[in-house]
Chains A and B, each alone.
Chain A
Amino acid sequence: MKSSFLVTPAENQPGASIDGDAAEQPSRRNFLKGSAALMVAPLLPASAKSRTSDEDAVAVAAVPASPPTVPWQEFLPDVIGVLDANPLDPSPTGTANIAGGEAGRPSHQRWNEFAARAEPYELHAAQRENWVFSPSYPAQPVWTYQAKEPDLSILSPVVFAHYGHPVLCRIYNDLPANHVGFGSPEISTHLHNLHCGSESDGFPGDYYSATKAGPTLTSPGGFRDHLYSNIYAGYDELQNGIGDYREALGTLFYHDHTTDFTAPNIVRGLVGFYCLFDELDSGDERDPNPSALRLPSHPYDYPLSFSDRRFDADGMLYYDQVNPDGVLGDKVVVNGKIEPVLRVARRKYRLRLLNAGPSRFYQFYLVRPNNVIQPFTYIANDGNLLERPLLNQTFVRLGVAERGDIVVDFSRYPRGTELYLVNRLTHVADDTRRPDRVVAPGVRVLKIVVDREPPEQDLSQVPSFLRPLRPLPSTAELAALPVRRWVFERRQNMWAINGQFLDINVPRAQIPLGGMEIWELASVDNGWDHPIHIHFEEGRILSKTTDGRNVVIPAHERGRKDVFVVNGRTTIRVLLRFRDYKGKYVMHCHNLIHEDHSMMLRWDIV
């Protein structure tokens, strides 16, 4: 290579002067205002320049807006697509079946307790060639998790699982190894907030493909088995064979968590829902069991994911892997579709709303065509049922990875009524750092048409009491707990936790099995909001202080949470338990560009 770089006399310009005072200390600003910048601007990555009126601001061209789309052209399915169980070949094993093609993971914990009765499921991470986000854009490849015999009308199917019924989920990586463009064809699938062993948690260093092993795996493999025991936290503590039902999780989601590439891989599409049911939240609104809540159930229990996406001038999915702020989507993709229509029956529905990222925050309202706000009942935050439903709510605010379950009674509307789910939370154009203001009337992201009578009477209900919370420890007990303080801040054009960047090989905290701790999640007000996700067990917010003042915890955040949005000069104190499993887990910002730019740390249960 070097031999071709010899300096030739022709390149050696005799007119060059070393007396370049005019160019002395050239300012980057001046340069960028110049004509060269204008000519090159379209090549340069997007930046958030348009947010500032400072005309000295760097004149890097923003990414062009996505081309316009004609809304309300496509319908979401009336019944959400659900993954069916299917037998696995070869049979799953406690230790990794490397000879059979499995990636070199650690052995499953509690294999003997759960494996024999685990229901087998199979997902394939694969490229879908002709997905239509909107009829306004060309059909194009996306990445999705799909069944062995995929339903091509949907992206990743929903997994319905039940406490007390373990799931063995085999996830094949069928992504094209020679893929060109953003994203990397390895996966480590995290089931967001499931209480499971770290070898099944989708640890970021455990990414795999048939030709690649992440740094914390021993060998590559075309699949990996995940043992989702579906026990409540508190299994060891209660010794009742299932754990503490007060710790039940409801709306979970699975997504790729591959180190270095989580943002682009999720933008490609690697996200799906996993709903967990138990005796209370049984998924059967006609359940004769007197303890069952009888919330609206499938097919009237409907998960909706919201993902911000940007499309290029040709209508193709766009992402810029070298933009240090990521790419803020200006189209909201709802279950894989832009501005789709959901047709509903005149009855109650449970809608499970998920902010699937990568970076946009939302504040959703349900409105009539004249933008009059419609009330609903808020029943679960971050997938966990609240103690009591919150009645007559008007909005759901979601940072990345947060969930909100609501019940909407469409029987209040005559057939033919049209409603819209609108997002009124704005971001400054191209600004992934934090949301800006709530502005009416907002952007319509989903149209709902009440188009039919229910085929049978709606027997679902929202009881006035949903699920108890375990009482908090006493003040004295809390005062005796270990406290860890984690500061989330900007550093060196990336983001750090306590000044340090990700090192996937070294735990930054080692917590004894069964431990209970208080974690203080703190941000300094240096411009970015961070939706912080802690793997493994959900936590309880004990207090929140902003600018030194105590802040009232909003009602919907008084349950169990797994995402904590820190913004401004804020400290959130969270009570966490570490029960039932050992191993390696992570805490990270779920704004995916922050996650990939190193705002993540490993902690271990030992």
Chain B
Amino acid sequence: MNTRRKLLAGMGVGVAALGVAALQRGSDAPQAIVRSSAGTKNFPNVTLYTHEGQPVKFYDDLIRGKLVTFNMMYAQCERTCPVSTANLRLVQKMLGERVGRDVFMYSISLQPEMDTPQRLREYVARHHIEPGWLFLTGARADIDLVRYRLGFYDPDPLVDFNDANHTGMLRVGNDALDRWTMAPTLTAPEQILSTINHVDMAMAHTAHREPSVV
């Protein structure tokens, strides 16, 4: 297995070093707690990094006022991630132009030390992910804060600690309405799409319809 040192040596961008710095000093979350736009919930507004190497604030940049989906993955996962990613890719296709405009898809790495932006960029290319769907990494502590905030944990710490058992949920939320639910990433993409459409005020029909019918 690659050591972290080798992996980091390959990152080449300042962003990577920033991530490690954040990792070493721990989470910046205590300074970064924000009230949601609905005024009802708090979010850790920690800095994450996209597969394109851009730093983003978890709440302000990724969630505030948006319709979002989140799932957890890691590039090396050989169990459920490949199928989940392929499924979500089909959802992205069905969403079409809505992705990145009305619906924002995010996948967060469970192994941020391994999954550098570079590695996630390779993952995106390998899975033919289209623009509008961001893969995210960051400091371990920040990733864990975000993971807990999204409900991506197991009440049993032993299960929770094992990356191979990680959550298969797709968290689906409409931040402006503070309306949050989920869909399994391993169910049919049509089912996942219906859940996304369920929280999208602009969609009267939650079932998938071919563009010609819309």
Contact = CB atoms under 8 A, between A and B. Distances in A.
Contact of A215 (B23, B55, B190): B190
B38 A180 contact: yes
Nearest to B16: A18
A43 B180 contact: no
Interface stretch (A49-57, A297-305, A363-371): A49-57
B54 A6 contact: yes
A266 to B, nearest CB: 14
Interface stretch (A167-175, A206-214, A574-582): A206-214
Contacts of B160: 28, 58
A49 B158 CA distance: 12
B148 A215 contact: no
A32 interface: yes
A56 B61 CA distance: 34
A288 to B, nearest CB: 53
B183 to A, nearest CB: 7
A43 B36 CA distance: 12
A178 interface: yes
A143 to B, nearest CB: 14
B145 A36 contact: yes
Contact of B4 (A20, A43, A44, A321): A20
A1 B40 CA distance: 24
Contact of B191 (A16, A60, A504): A504
A16 B20 contact: yes
Interface in A33-65: 34, 36, 39-40, 43-45, 47-49, 52, 54, 56-58, 60
B177 A20 contact: no
B74 to A, nearest CB: 14
B40 A180 contact: yes
B24 A23 contact: yes
A580 B186 CA distance: 35
A144 B201 CA distance: 22
Given A34-B26, A596-B181, A492 B169 contact: yes
B168 A494 contact: yes
Nearest to B179: A184
Given A48-B155, A322-B151, A493-B169, A213 B206 contact: yes
Nearest to A432: B155
A29 B157 contact: yes
Interface in B131-148: 140-141, 144-145, 148
A267 B190 CA distance: 27
Given A57-B157, A492-B167, A261 B18 contact: no
A26 B194 CA distance: 38
Contacts of B178: 180-182
B187 interface: yes
A31 B140 contact: yes
Given A492-B186, A597-B182, A17 B24 contact: yes
A27 B140 CA distance: 9
B17 A501 contact: no
A220 B184 CA distance: 25
A598 B187 CA distance: 9
A184 B199 contact: yes
A7 interface: yes
Chain A: interface residue count, which band? 35 or more
A320 B153 CA distance: 14
Interface in B6-54: 8-9, 13-18, 20-21, 23-24, 26-27, 29-30, 33, 38, 40, 42-44, 50, 52-54
Given A18-B8, A214-B206, A2 B52 contact: yes
B23 to A, nearest CB: 5
A15 interface: yes
A31 B142 CA distance: 10
B152 interface: yes
Given A216-B207, A596-B181, A19 B5 contact: yes
B122 interface: no
Contacts of B38: 180-181
B155 A215 contact: no
A45 B148 contact: yes
A512 interface: no
Contacts of A431: 155
B186 A501 contact: yes
Contact of A501 (B184, B190, B206): B184
Interface in A455-508: 491-494, 500-506
Given A25-B113, A179-B177, A180-B178, A11 B191 contact: no
B150 interface: yes
Contacts of B207: 213-216, 505
A24 interface: yes
Nearest to A52: B157
Contacts of B150: 322
A4 interface: yes
Contact of A321 (B21, B53, B181): B181
Contacts of A40: 27, 29-30, 33, 44, 145
B93 to A, nearest CB: 17
Nearest to B151: A322
Contacts of B145: 36, 40
Contacts of A60: 148, 153
B156 A527 contact: yes
Interface in B53-97: 53-56, 61, 80
Interface in B184-202: 184, 186-188, 190-191, 194-195, 198-199, 201
A47 B182 CA distance: 18
B14 A7 contact: yes
Contacts of B16: 18
A22 interface: yes
A323 interface: yes
Nearest to B206: A215
B130 interface: no
A492 B145 CA distance: 19
Contacts of B50: 5
B106 to A, nearest CB: 12
A54 B27 CA distance: 25
B157 A56 contact: yes
A112 interface: no
B98 interface: no
A23 B186 contact: no
A219 B204 CA distance: 8
A525 interface: no
A101 interface: no
A431 B155 CA distance: 9
A205 B193 CA distance: 13
Given A40-B145, A47-B155, A322-B150, A16 B184 contact: no
A505 B16 CA distance: 44
Interface in A215-238: 215-216, 219-220
B149 interface: yes
B161 A28 contact: yes
Nearest to B37: A180
A158 to B, nearest CB: 30
19 contacts: A16-B17, A17-B17, A22-B24, A31-B144, A36-B26, A43-B43, A44-B149, A45-B149, A177-B201, A179-B177, A214-B194, A260-B172, A431-B155, A494-B182, A500-B187, A504-B191, A505-B190, A505-B207, A596-B182
Please name the 7 residue pairs, one residue from A and one from B, whose CB atoms are nearest each other, closest first: A492-B168, A16-B21, A5-B54, A322-B151, A501-B184, A16-B17, A215-B207
